[in-house]
Amino acid sequence: MHTLDRIYIDGQFVTPHGEELFDLFNPATEALIGQVRLGDAQDARAAVAAAKRAFPAFSRTTKAERIAMLHRLHDAVAPHAEALAAAMVAEYGAPAYFVDFSARRSASVFLDMAKTLEDFDFSQTIGRAEVTLQPLGVVAAITPWNSNYGFICGKLAGAIAAGCTIVVKPSEMSATQTDVLMRALHEAGLPPGVFNIVNGRGEVVGAELTSHPNVAKVTFTGSTPVGRAILRAASETMKRVTLELGGKGPNIILEDADLETAIPTVAMMGFGNSGQACVAGTRILAPRSRLPEILERLKTAVAALKVGEATDPSVMIGPMVSQKQWDRVQSYIRLGQEEGAQLLVGGEGRPDGLDRGWFVRPTVFVGVNNDMRIAREEIFGPVLSVIPYEDEDEAIAIANDTTYGLQAYVASSDLDHARAVADRLESGRVVINGAPHEPLAPFGGFKQSGIGREYGRFGLEAHLEPRAVLA
């Protein structure tokens, strides 16, 4: 068992002032695999001070200099993909397909942002005014445990491109991944204080960052309730905020969908990343005219999804991240039955043959209406609900009848038809027929799924403030 006792401030690995030790577990075995020494409010203040000292010089770097830094960050992180993947497997238990994507993506986001920056104009003339886009200042980035190093790299890339300095507070549950990434990032040789990383609890380090007067912007990925708290705290000093929050994504199967290809895609869009994903398509909207066939195919598709340890490359669904998360998902499976929904597949407890680890039986409810809590609340586990609809207008009404609006899905054999439906959905992203991720497109949500956008041009602009000079 190892103890991680370093954070990164002002270009150096330092011992935290905080003394609390937090246990780290392997969720597939429930074994204690290490501890991390957490930073405290004093560590957060030291990191902010370092970022503030670095900001004046860094904000004046040229676009070419920052593009070069982004390439150096890519070159520093890319060789560590295998170590990052191993850390994610040990600490989070994600299946191989997700681990591989995350490990590659952690480095490639820097190249994506460099490409965005190449074509970005920081100044323009509007009437008689010269308008320039200025970096905001010190950014505080708070990241979750379900894609730890991907979120860190994405937020770091946006800040660097804009000329902002940054303090990152990752989830304390992802400390092994953070340690591997932190040491890789150090190899890029960026100026001291440009980026800083402080492990710690949200209510301690996160709270200090969101209230600190020298932090100009907070970017947070996580739950909607925590996002609300951050927004309230940030408002005291008028911080700019980017919040990427929860979701309850609709996955609309249109009447003209080819079920042979649509159903496996629908299942993976719901169960991807073991269901621990804000973008999961957890509400399957099915035309009543085709409901029996859809349910039969869905039951078969879900039964074929293997649950187990990530060391098995055929596994599609891994464990929940913690005992707490396992208990939460189990409570929703019980709740669904109490609300009157029926189990098409799955149910409470562990899958057969798995007597340890925080594994959940992939579960699909039928007999669900959109007023049930299992259809309205984010469960963050492998639990889906099938909701029938009579016609397309009703499907769209059900899809939009939610407090969330992060990512939606449409399945159709007619692309023009699918696009017409997509245009009516209140969602930050709409994925048609399982289309692959587009790294340069903006990412963020409508309604209570968040504020602002990340990635590409929109993510870069979120770190900038326009200034008009009139002469």
Respond yes or no: is residue 164 known to be catalytic.
Answer: no
In this prediction the pTM is: 0.96
What is the CB-side half-sphere exposure of residue 189 using CA atoms within 13 A? 5
* Structure-token pair, residue 177: 């991944």
Q: Write the CB contacts of 274 (distance below 8 Å, at least 6 apart in sequence).
A: 93, 94, 95, 98, 317, 318, 319, 320, 360, 381, 382
Which of 91, 164, 172, 278 is catalytic? The answer is 278
Whole-angstrom Cα distance, residue 166 to residue 159?
Answer: 7
Give the model's pLDDT for residue 203: 97
43 touches 19 (CB < 8 A): no
Looking at residue 347, its pLDDT comes to 98
Compute the distance between CA of residue 25 and CA of residue 92 in angstroms, rounded to an integer. 8
SS3 298: helix
Q: Return d(Cα 410, Cα 26) in angstroms, integer.
A: 36
Catalytic member of 91, 172, 244, 461: 244
Pick from 157, 153, 31, 146: nearest CA to 98: 146
Q: Is 278 a catalytic residue?
A: yes
Mean pLDDT by 10 residues, the chain (471 residues): 93 98 98 98 98 98 98 98 95 94 92 97 96 98 96 98 98 97 98 98 98 98 96 97 98 98 97 97 98 98 95 95 98 98 98 96 98 98 98 98 98 98 98 95 98 97 98 91
Which secondary-structure segment (H or E) carries 169? strand 165-169
